[in-house]
Amino acid sequence: MTLVWAVVAGLAVGLVLGALGGGGAILTIPVLTYVLGMGVTEATTASLVVVGLSSLVAVVAHARAGRVDWARGLVFAAVGAVGAVAGSFLSRGLDPQWLMVSFGVLLVVVALLMLRPGGTPHPDAAPADLRDPRRAALTGGTGLGVGVLTGFFGVGGGFAIVPALTLVLGLAMPTAAATSLLVIALNSAAALVTKLSLGVQLDWTLVAALTAATMVGSLAGTRIAGRADPRALKRAFAFLLVCVGIYTVVSSALALAA
């Protein structure tokens, strides 16, 4: 029965991942902990497998539609991979419930930032020129910070990558959502290798079932991304962050108080 739930959950996660270019890990970690019964440490590691591989599948579909900014995405991911390794080491020894409380608070903060007026570039605005030293430095610092979040919380980081690509690099929402999948895949790989080297053990059968279902769902999600209004995608993304963030904070706080 657990495998059945893993498949159902994977399809839902994949739809979010493919349509919004992120947010998959936001659903994966609560699913693995609250629904499938994994420990927080194992869940934050398993989510990197699920979201990383699913992002890789989804980015291919987005690339065929011409929505991926490869140059800026690879630069952002290269810096982020360094941060992902650092974040993986920083999270060692932290109480899992405090980690989840911090994760939930972060989701709500990012959602509120995304809903601020003027947070999305004009559709006709040109992407940032990385040859500009100031812009390159800002991109590097942001990419490093997002990578640390990926390694620290064990998530793909789409909740931070999408706003960063829109606000820092000036990418339109559909392009940012698609490009974020490339960044997620590479950052997740760096963080996963680091966490496994630190001795985390996984239930690979459960992880494989969830990953396969997520891949299928992500392909369907890319079709939604190509047809939906970018502003609607942004609002849906922010609403998802608020709901999951509040639930995570409340659940973890109750566990700490028990």
pLDDT score for 117 = 66
Could you identify the residue written with the tokens 């409380």? Answer: 101
pLDDT score for 82 = 92
Confidence of residue 125 (pLDDT cuts 50, 70, 90): low
Q: Are 5 and 175 in contact (CB under 8 A)?
A: no
* Nearest of 213, 244, 190 to residue 77 by alpha carbon: 190
pLDDT 10s digits, 227-247: 767 677 777 778 877 888 898
Q: Are 32 and 2 in contact (CB under 8 A)?
A: no
Domain ranges, ordered by start, for the chain: 2-257
Confidence of residue 122 (pLDDT cuts 50, 70, 90): very low
pLDDT 10s digits, 39-98: 888 888 888 898 888 788 778 888 888 889 898 889 888 999 999 999 888 888 788 888
Please, where are the H alpha helices in 115-203? 133-153, 158-167, 173-197
Q: Give the integer Cα–Cα distance in Å for 31 and 33.
A: 6
- Is the Cα dihedral 227, 230, 235, 241 positive or negative? positive
Share of the chain above pLDDT 70, in %: 89
Q: Are 250 and 97 in contact (CB under 8 A)?
A: no
